[in-house]
Structure 1
Amino acid sequence: MTAPLIDPFHRAISYLRVSVTDRCDFRCVYCMSENMTFLPKKELLTLEELDRMCSAFVRLGVRKLRITGGEPLVRREIMTFFRAMSRHLQTGALDELTLTTNGSQLAKFAEDLADAGVRRINVSLDTLDQDKFARITRWGRLPQVMKGIDAAQKAGLRVKINTVALKGFNEDELHRLTDWCAERDMDLTFIEVMPMGDIGNEDRIGQYWSLNDLRARLAERSPLTDLPDRTGGPARYVRMESTGQKIGFITPLSHNFCESCNRVRITCTGEIYTCLGQEGHSDLRAPLRASESDAMLDDAIRAAIALKPKGHDFDYSRQQVDGQVSRHMSHTGG
């Protein structure tokens, strides 16, 4: 029962992303519809159940745990969970505990996160313009996020900025964003927009900005050197020689990264999705709640990993949103 988790394509599963809530205090236009219907709270895993679920994966070989949402820091008493997970860092069973956040709550929680053993966080930020930020997030306030980033760096957290590349929206901020990150000694990763969920009137194909094009624009300004760095996720990295900073590219559409996929995702209701770009999933909540022993849960986890597909089907090349999945990104977790 302690054998590592290996999928049908001989990929070891060492990275777990867990959504602790589907709720968020923003309504980013590529992630959610403005008037979201959230899950009833009784359907969510309790913090104790999340602890047991994550601990099972750690016992089965997961070395990196990323907490996502929604916005994970809006979950009530969430620091109780982070402090509980820190025991796996202390024993050496877990290499890294981290999170992806919109930054809105960091001013409140940055020091507590650092105390719990978090060393590195990702902050989602698509623009440095206050008006555009309000438009893309619908409900967000840029100064609040900037205060959160300040607090995170003051607490000693290594901050990486995640920016979704959106055609016609932040193309003109490409160099401003890279310069700002260089000045603050923050890594930067660009992400292609993915076809996740019904977001109303937003045009998926119109939003899509290929990172091949974005990288070419960066290269016009500075030589780029490919780096072998891997952080456990799908990003490929370069060093921008003019500044020395590290820039990542997550390219699920222009160049997928499925061959090296080492991760699975757990939703806040205990479903496991072994591929972000596929609808297939398995229920782990029922076996979790069926017995105080973890034997049924371990068996269910292994059965789910055995169904992990070779890759996703995201594709915009035919000018239609092929491979679109119905659930919102906030449901699966970042």
Structure 2
Amino acid sequence: MHQITLGFLAVHLHHENGYATEIAKRSASFNIECVRFEPTSIDPSTLTINGEKYDSITQTWKSASFSIPTFIYDRCFYNNQQASKKSKPIVEWLKQNPSTTFLGFGLPDKWQIYSALKASELINSYLPETEKLTTSAQIIKHIRTNSSCILKPISGSRGNGIIAVRQTSNEVNITYHKGHDKKKQSFHSLQQFSDWCERLLKQQSYLLQPILSLTDQEGYPFDIRLLLQKNRNGEWILVEKGVRKGYQGSFLSNLNSGGAPITYEEWSKSLTMKQKFLLEDELSTIITHLPKLLDMKFNRLFEIGIDIGYAQDGSTWILDINSKPGRKTFVETKPHLKDILYESPLAYCHYLMNQRNNKGAEVNE
């Protein structure tokens, strides 16, 4: 069988080094060669890439030049830094290249996802009411009626930039995270708060959602993370579900905002039989319909992380959908999953290769 190449693509070469290396260690048994590179390392005139190739004999990465790989696993996370700004258009260009296949094409921003899912009768009841912000007046109007809301960057991930807003009788308080640290700021007049909001909205686009009561009995925020991937037959499967628990007084459970992972089994011991049955029924509906819907509405995906909020009244909410999910929640709590997690991109390459070959056969007939 012709050897195929899988390219691990990241904005910085050694980003997710552990994850890339674990995949590469297993690649020889799939007859796949692993390389890794940055979008900016492609020479536009020759299409040669300067990156690193995994040497399965010495089990190390070595500097190498190579052509654009057959398959690309896009693990680029973008922020406002220069490397990100340069990388994004190159990745978009690569996606148009007919000689290469991306494992998954990623998802658009949160507003586009919300708008697409809102049209689905099977899924829309799980979506918190969401509006796209264009002016601070929308925020003021919302807190006058509901006294609180949450602001989410339209294209943020990992809990970055999320702001909780709460109005009391004489001031407006905002809370946000800088890494593990929780920061607070108070405004003593609506005008002062409104000016701050206008400055915020000039920096980036935000969505407004209600604050849901997503804390456990002890007041810790938590969410349920579902990791779904396509298997070697191209079918969506639930790899695992886990729970991320924030610290008391925080409103985020993301691991890089100070959260800690626990197993779903451990967490669900606190539920009654009826609560557990109803929750698992809701999760089953989401797992069955959401991935297929995303594939249909957008471009092909290989994996998604779905963050589920389980409110104190028993309602279930889709909080976020991530097409480049992390694995820390599962690797730390379920070490036996490692082989499945690290082999799945390689197994999916074989599925895509077979699809390609079958298409070729159809064309030749």
Fold conserved between structures, TM > 0.5: no
Structure with bigger RCO (C-alpha 8 Å, 6+ apart): 1
Larger radius of gyration: 2
TM-score between the two structures when normalised by the length of structure 1: 0.35
